[in-house]
Chain A
Amino acid sequence: MNKEYVKGSVPEAGLPLGRQTPHRRKKTQRLLEKGTTLAALKQAFVMLRPDKQWNNPVMFTVEVGAFLTLLYIVEAVMGKGSSQIPLSYFIWLDAWLFITVVFANFATALAEARGKAQADSLRRARFDTVAYRFNAAGTTEQVSSTALKPGDLVAVEAGQMVPNDGEIIEGIASIDESAITGESAPVIREAGGDRSGVTGGTLVLSDKIIVRITSGTGDSFLDRMIALVEGAIRQRTPNEIALTLVLSAFTLIFLIVVVPLWPMAWNAEQYMMGYLGIQEPVKSLGTDVPTLIALLVCLIPTTIGALLAAIGIAGMDRALQANIIAKSGKAVELAGDIDVVLLDKTGTITIGNRNATKFIPVGKYSEAEVGRLAAMASDADQTPEGKSIVKLFEKQSGKTVSVPSDTKFAPFTAQTRMSGVDLPDGQQIRKGAPDAVIKFIMGRNGSVPEGIKGEITKLVDSVASKGATPLLVTDGSNIAGLIALEDILKPNMTERFERLRKMGLRTVMITGDNPLTAAAIASKAGVDDFLAEATPETKLAYLRKEQAEGKLVAMMGDGTNDAPALAQADVGLAMNAGTQAAKEAANMVDLDSDPTKLIEVVEIGKQLLMTRGSLTTFSIANDVAKFFAIIPALFAGTLPWLRVMDIMHLHSPVSAILSAVIFNAIIIPLLIPVALKGVSYLALGAEALLRRNLLIWGLGGVIVPFIGIKLIDMTIVALHMVS
């Protein structure tokens, strides 16, 4: 793998050191691109090798039939054949049998080529670049990115490429990730928190960051994911294995149907000889081996047999196009079965940050007083919530906040769950979660009068029940009032949840908020359930509880805290911007770091299974028409009155059989687009969906070949392919 990057570095050699233009990843591909199509066509012939063809039992059967027919033709050409049927019939027949196999291989090869092209375009983002590594002396030195080891610190400035995967330990920057995501809008990455991850090959657009490298060359997260994807392309998922089994069984069943036809047809020939009272043998196509092979090929599920591998690969490919890297095809398949989706409130259901919307005074304080205290407490607070408090105060009062120069800032910690300032005169102003603040006051031997306590409780509940988060503001040992921080719902989320519900999924909102706030937001957003005051442990417990009930659970996460739950979830989707631990634990990674992606993942999974089911149904339903084309043709020589079954009124027995075989072959390339794009998924509920698909693929599968075979029959007669 290493070597590829070295090779890839050659064309970039002329660029100024450290300044490179990112290669924007192309996500969508046309169905037939010249490069992939040609490669696939070549591969289709390579796959004819019996040991490779064996991977696909249905098509292997067809190939064996085609070779047997070829032997039969050779024998006929050598003059040993005793058939009364023109040789051209056998040649056409055999040609189409081979074409059937090639079409099938082409479908698989095309899907593989497309999958590989996706993986390659991701890989193209990775090439040798220059890194500025900190040495022991604390200064930077120029090294090649390939020389970087995990743990190295590098500086990356605007206009430079991130040399390898890592975490920002200092600074904030806007980064162009289009090389891996294909999205041109830059993203912000900053030190600390859950958005500190940077990916090698992305371009820093502004500012300067210091990155701690987390992976060695060629071993970057993306590299390993791509390798997994390429491996998964060749791996069969459990459902695919089971379906292959069913298809092999169908092949066997139809072998059981076709083989005994020979003696039965022979029986009819004997009878006809007796009936006509003649000595010379009466022959029908029913005892003609190539024709029986043709019948077998028409009956066995070649359509789905040809497209099965392509459908699976295309599923992975669709996930890649949605910028999701799945570690296995199994994960994509499993996504279709998800019953419960756990969604983080922040970033998924609500716009990341809460905004202060109101200051509520308590006791003797006025609203303006509370606002001023709150703004002072937030002056040094760089979180969006803190900034919004300052902004609200400035908007309400028209003044700016000022604190004395030697004020000490008390930052937020997980222990105190408060932040604030210590003024030089010893006054401590704090804002924070109500229970934490009250504890803080008690801890300083203060007390909260009963009347105030009651008032606070009422106010806290009323703020929370509106879906906002209440913060208490203290003025020394006194409680001054409340700040209401409100969540802002993302647009269109209610519709998306409605859609999920129709798909049969239950949505659960995960939030650290108190139950009252959570309930209010949950009902506003339209989720089915919520888990309030969630900690990594309660999240994991909730997940396990759902799984114990037999449900499959999907969740998305980014933080290291999420890793256990991501690993436990049936489908765990990590954000690329998230921590390394989260990405390792998940079985999918979203390059866009878009929390709503989970919904798309589920749809891709469902689409994959639907496509498989629809094409299998179609393939098997096709047999009805083929029977009606071939059976009368088989016995035209011995039981001519069976012509009543020839409801398509085909030209001749020979044209009937050729038409069926040709239809059987060309339906494969005609359905390649469906296999690659997938049957469109509609959130209708299983019942309506089944009805719809049964109608389209079941009934359609019965009717279409009647029309198709008739048309082909007319065409080949017009072209004089048969007499």
Chain B
Amino acid sequence: MFMQTWLLPFALLATATIIAFPLSRYLAWVMDGKYRPLPVFGWFEKRLNSGPQNWKQYVYSLLIFNTLLFVFGYLVLALQPWMPLNPDHKTLLAPSTIFNSVVSFMTNTDLQHYSGDQHLSNFSQIFFGIANLFISAAIGLSALVAIIRALRSDSSVGNFFLDMWRVLVYMFVPIAFVFALFFIVQGSPMTLKTSYSVSTLEPAAMGTTDKGEVKQQNIVVGPVAAFEAMKMLGTNGGGFYGMNSAHPFENPTAASNFFNTYAMMMFPFALVLMYGRMLGRMRHSIVIFSVMLIMMAGTIVWSICFDTLKPNPGLTAHPVARTYEVPSATAPGGKRAVILPAVPGLPVDQHLGNLEGKEMRFGTSAGATFAALTTDVTCGAVNAESDSLNPLAALAPMVGMWLNCLFGGKGVGMINMLLYIIIGIFVAGMMVGRTPEYLGKKIGAREVKLAVIALLIHPFMILFPSGLFAATSWGLKAISNPGAHGLSQIVYQFSSASANNGSAFDGLGVTYGFWNNANPAPTAVAWDIAAGLVMMFSRFIPIIAPIAMAAYLGEKKSSPFGLGTLRDDTPTFSILLLGTILIIGALLFLPVAALGPVAEHFGPIPFGG
């Protein structure tokens, strides 16, 4: 039992950590342009390289590129009915859903208010889906590299287009190719066909038609293996199928599950070390790495402890009634008793923990492990139903999104961490009696301003829309359960959007479906637009502001390290960093954590009416 539970998460963390060291060396080597390209590539790179850029030019290129990406994605989805590879004649999605989806894939969020297998043609899956999986992931990574170059006071922050090319051609394509092959071997489809009609083993499993004929089962296929590989490697998380990594074609076996899970950790782990290698501050990056690893391990342990090792409270219920007194103006004596009546548990064997919504072929702790990891690295894929996690266990994925730097998404996770480092050093670093400095550069008002702007946007984009939707019909009509669980669903959705994570808590009615859908979810349009805007702001402001901040820092004179300088490569620094993240990052979300998962955990069963 112990091994069954803990072997998987341990093996994952160990594998990712070990591979991160050589991989980071390779990444730094590529991004520093030390490789010798093939003649053809070399010819192309020369033409692609529009010359060294300063930070403003880099950001400008990035924004123009994203605008084009948005237009292209919008066109692909908006023209779906008239495009090839659409034998099933999938029609037009609702415009708001197209907006949401295009923003979602462009921002590496991959929040899906549609279901890939039902709503997209293979043309859309390839040219909208797979294309974005590669490109959006490369954008974040390029931004990180620009920041590194700025921090080490390079004369230029690089060239955006060349960086994108390097990331795509020398990192993503070859590695994704290997993973895709492996998934094909494990049983993922890789075809341009769209579906098979098969007779089920049990003749009437799919029901019968009015004429009494046995219905055939329609099985959707497509270029799944390619989609899957980059979905995980790029910490995108948007699935080919609505069921995501819980679908047997996306994730056929326990082995594919291991590599599915590992794939999303691969780059985020290595990028932290790449940061150190490129800056020549390996020990510093190892300290950052350990802080991230500790927090990530914390979320996994939390998730497993409250899910895999605890029964589902919905089934055990509470056999003893509980009474609370609450103040009340109208009740006699100013107090009213709230009684939670005894709810007898169901006679279910729960020694394997909470199994609701789990894929048993992956093992008992796979769901809980995946749930924590997928938000820690802002992937957002799921291999189990997050909505069915035990209430407290659901805190683990939420914390991953709130902090957004437990390795975090490709590039952006490290960028977020950089913001915490700057704020942490600024506040606590003064305690050594020097003006706070990072990498020998003094942190001044301008840098701090940019860091807090980037840091502010995240809680703002989660809490304000959550509050708005919690009190209006936009949210109240979409949730599947009222009260604490419903609030969790709303908060989770916006956390996922703002963290550019894309995982869904589910149970939230946000799908409009095809434009001609007669019965869309009642408030789907509001969700589409709100989540779309959140994703956009939470993506670009925390990329642009840190690039500017790094550029301003890089312009400063670097003062040498001395005994009186704050060391950023010691265990003490890791405590400082951990404290900063926990107090600044986590405290902001304590109230919603209390109102959502904690209230649900301690509240009556069933919580929802």
A-B complex is real: yes
**Which A residues form the contact surface with B (CB < 8 A)?**
84, 238-239, 241-243, 245-246, 249, 252-254, 256-257, 259-268, 270-272, 274-276, 280, 282-283, 333-334, 336-337, 339, 501-506, 549-552, 605-607, 609-610, 612-614, 616-617, 620-621, 623-624, 627, 631-632, 634-645, 653, 681, 685-687, 689-691, 693-694, 697-698
Chain A residues lying within 8 Å of B471, measured Cβ to Cβ, are 263-264, 266-267
**B431 contacts A339, C-beta separation under 8 Å:** no
**A264 contacts B595, C-beta separation under 8 Å:** yes
- Given A268-B483, A687-B572, does the pair A693, B431 have CB atoms closer than 8 Å? yes
Asked if B40 CB lies within 8 Å of chain A CBs, one says no
Closest CB of chain B to A623's CB: distance in Å?
Answer: 6
Q: How far is the CA of A614 from the CA of B433 in the complex (A)?
A: 10
Closest CB of chain B to A588's CB: distance in Å?
Answer: 17
Interface contacts (Cβ under 8 Å), in number, total 254
Q: Which of B324, B431, B464, B484 contacts A690 (CB 8 A)?
A: B431
Within 8 A of A (CB), among B555-608: 557-560, 562-567, 570, 572-573, 575-576, 579, 583-584, 587-588, 590-592, 594-595, 598-599, 602-604
Chain B residues lying within 8 Å of A501, measured Cβ to Cβ, are 563
Q: How far is the CA of A505 from the CA of B570 in the complex (A)?
A: 21
Q: How far is the CA of A55 from the CA of B19 in the complex (A)?
A: 53
Closest CB of chain B to A695's CB: distance in Å?
Answer: 10
Closest CB of chain B to A611's CB: distance in Å?
Answer: 9
**B326 contacts A640, C-beta separation under 8 Å:** yes
Within 8 A of A (CB), among B439-462: 440, 442-445, 448-449, 452, 455-456, 459-460
Closest CB of chain B to A244's CB: distance in Å?
Answer: 8
Chain B residues lying within 8 Å of A552, measured Cβ to Cβ, are 559
Asked if B204 CB lies within 8 Å of chain A CBs, one says no
Q: How far is the CA of A163 from the CA of B134 in the complex (A)?
A: 81
Ranked 4 nearest A-B pairs via Cβ: A504-B564, A613-B430, A260-B467, A606-B433
Q: How far is the CA of A259 from the CA of B463 in the complex (A)?
A: 9
Chain B residues lying within 8 Å of A681, measured Cβ to Cβ, are 433
Can you report 14 residue pairs joining A to B where beta carbons are below 8 Å apart? A239-B436, A246-B448, A252-B456, A253-B459, A264-B466, A264-B471, A268-B483, A274-B609, A610-B433, A613-B432, A620-B584, A635-B599, A641-B603, A691-B572
Q: Which of A253, A503, A631, A639 contacts B590 (CB 8 A)?
A: A631
**B433 contacts A689, C-beta separation under 8 Å:** yes
**A686 contacts B560, C-beta separation under 8 Å:** no
Chain B residues lying within 8 Å of A698, measured Cβ to Cβ, are 428, 579
Q: How far is the CA of A568 from the CA of B354 in the complex (A)?
A: 70
Q: Give the nearest-CB partner of B564 in chain A.
A: A504
Q: Give the nearest-CB partner of A283 in chain B.
A: B329
Q: A264-B487, A690-B573 are in contact. List 13 more A-B contacts (CB 8 A).
A: A239-B430, A242-B426, A267-B470, A274-B609, A337-B434, A551-B560, A612-B430, A613-B430, A617-B431, A620-B427, A686-B433, A690-B431, A691-B572
Chain B residues lying within 8 Å of A504, measured Cβ to Cβ, are 562-565
Within 8 A of A (CB), among B85-133: none
**B326 contacts A637, C-beta separation under 8 Å:** yes
Closest CB of chain B to A131's CB: distance in Å?
Answer: 46
**A690 contacts B576, C-beta separation under 8 Å:** yes
- Given A257-B459, A504-B562, A685-B564, does the pair A337, B572 have CB atoms closer than 8 Å? no
**B432 contacts A246, C-beta separation under 8 Å:** no
Q: How far is the CA of A623 from the CA of B434 in the complex (A)?
A: 25
Within 8 A of A (CB), among B498-529: none
- Given A245-B448, A617-B431, A694-B572, does the pair A686, B565 have CB atoms closer than 8 Å? yes
Count the B residues whose beta carbon is within 8 Å of the partner chain — how many?
Answer: 81
Closest CB of chain B to A675's CB: distance in Å?
Answer: 14
**B482 contacts A686, C-beta separation under 8 Å:** no
Q: How far is the CA of A637 from the CA of B334 in the complex (A)?
A: 11
Chain A residues lying within 8 Å of B349, measured Cβ to Cβ, are none
Q: How far is the CA of A556 from the CA of B325 in the complex (A)?
A: 71
**B328 contacts A687, C-beta separation under 8 Å:** no
Q: Give the nearest-CB partner of B468 in chain A.
A: A263
Q: How far is the CA of A241 from the CA of B445 in the complex (A)?
A: 6
Q: Give the nearest-CB partner of A261 in chain B.
A: B591
Closest CB of chain A to B313's CB: distance in Å?
Answer: 13
- Given A504-B564, A610-B433, A642-B602, does the pair A280, B327 have CB atoms closer than 8 Å? no
Q: How far is the CA of A642 from the CA of B448 in the complex (A)?
A: 37
**B456 contacts A249, C-beta separation under 8 Å:** yes
**A263 contacts B470, C-beta separation under 8 Å:** yes
Chain B residues lying within 8 Å of A241, measured Cβ to Cβ, are 445
- Given A263-B471, A283-B329, A641-B599, does the pair A686, B590 have CB atoms closer than 8 Å? no
Chain A residues lying within 8 Å of B558, measured Cβ to Cβ, are 550
Chain A residues lying within 8 Å of B53, measured Cβ to Cβ, are none
Chain B residues lying within 8 Å of A613, measured Cβ to Cβ, are 427-432, 436
**B448 contacts A242, C-beta separation under 8 Å:** yes
Q: Give the nearest-CB partner of B596 in chain A.
A: A264
**B428 contacts A245, C-beta separation under 8 Å:** no
Chain A residues lying within 8 Å of B467, measured Cβ to Cβ, are 259-264
**B428 contacts A609, C-beta separation under 8 Å:** no
Q: How far is the CA of A154 from the CA of B575 in the complex (A)?
A: 65
Q: Give the nearest-CB partner of B582 in chain A.
A: A624
Asked if B194 CB lies within 8 Å of chain A CBs, one says no
Chain B residues lying within 8 Å of A502, measured Cβ to Cβ, are 563
Closest CB of chain A to B203's CB: distance in Å?
Answer: 45
Interface centre among A256, A624, A689 (most CB of B within 10 A): A256
Chain A residues lying within 8 Å of B566, measured Cβ to Cβ, are 686, 690
- Given A264-B470, A276-B338, A503-B563, does the pair A690, B432 have CB atoms closer than 8 Å? yes
Closest CB of chain A to B495's CB: distance in Å?
Answer: 13
Q: How far is the CA of A334 from the CA of B329 in the complex (A)?
A: 59
Q: How far is the CA of A583 from the CA of B207 in the complex (A)?
A: 98
Chain B residues lying within 8 Å of A607, measured Cβ to Cβ, are 433
Asked if B209 CB lies within 8 Å of chain A CBs, one says no
**A239 contacts B567, C-beta separation under 8 Å:** no
Q: Which of B338, B460, B486 contacts A640 (CB 8 A)?
A: B338
Chain A residues lying within 8 Å of B324, measured Cβ to Cβ, are 640-641, 643
